[in-house]
Amino acid sequence: MAGSSDSVDQRLAQVLADFGHRLAALLHGYRLDRHGVDPADIEQEVRIRLWKAIERDRSGAFHASYVQKVVATTVIDALRRAEVRAAEPLPEDDDEPGQLPEEGVGPEQSASDGQRMSGLQRCLGAIPVRRRLPITLHLQGFSLQEIADVVGTSAEAARKLVSRGLDELKSRLREQGLGEFDD
């Protein structure tokens, strides 16, 4: 049994060697610290999920798209947990009363980002279901072939769904006053 555990560990080490740089870039790109989520915790959870996947499917090949999907689902789960967990009490620090810790993002920027994301979600929700999934996957960085595989169409059909869906999304965003886009 120890030999099989070693092979799982070796495969995990190989997957992390192959895709570790992409994993770090994805985690950095999500800017998790803005949501009170520690990127190191997410990285650890991604490693655990990959390890479990390797343990379940010892002969499976893990591609960049699979690692990206694991990262995305782990981040989504963490953001959902952060959203529903109770607010933590402020620390009782008598050294400097009234001083708030300095953060990289101010409340105005945070509120503005939240409004934009809410507007984007509303606009995405108004798009027909057939185009919504391809657009969502495209915005997450999936390739057209990966989108086609998930949706069950050809790459050309996926390209058309994404293109038409993005045009519709841009139009809806313009109507909401959420931006101007170069066509």
Q: How far apart are the C-alpha atoms of 14 and 54, rounded to whole Å?
A: 11
- With 0-12 / 13-18 / 19 or more C-beta atoms within 10 angstroms meaning exposed / middle / buried, residue 57 is exposed
For residue 107, what pLDDT is reported? 57
Q: What is the pLDDT of residue 5?
A: 73
The tens digit of pLDDT for each residue in 104-154 reads: 555 555 555 667 777 778 888 888 888 888 888 888 888 889 888 888 899
> What pLDDT was estimated at residue 2?
47
Amino acid at 128: P
Structure confidence at residue 64 (pLDDT): 76
Fold that domain 107-175 belongs to in CATH: Arc Repressor Mutant, subunit A (1.10.10)
Alpha carbon 54 to its chain centroid, in Å, reads 21
- pLDDT, residue 106, reads 57
Low-confidence ranges of the chain (pLDDT < 50): 1-2, 86-87
Locate 107 and state its tokens.
């409340």
8 A C-beta contact, residue 8 and residue 55: yes
- Each domain of the chain, given as residue ranges in start order, spans 2-84, 107-175
Give me the pLDDT at residue 1, please: 47
Give this prediction's pTM: 0.44
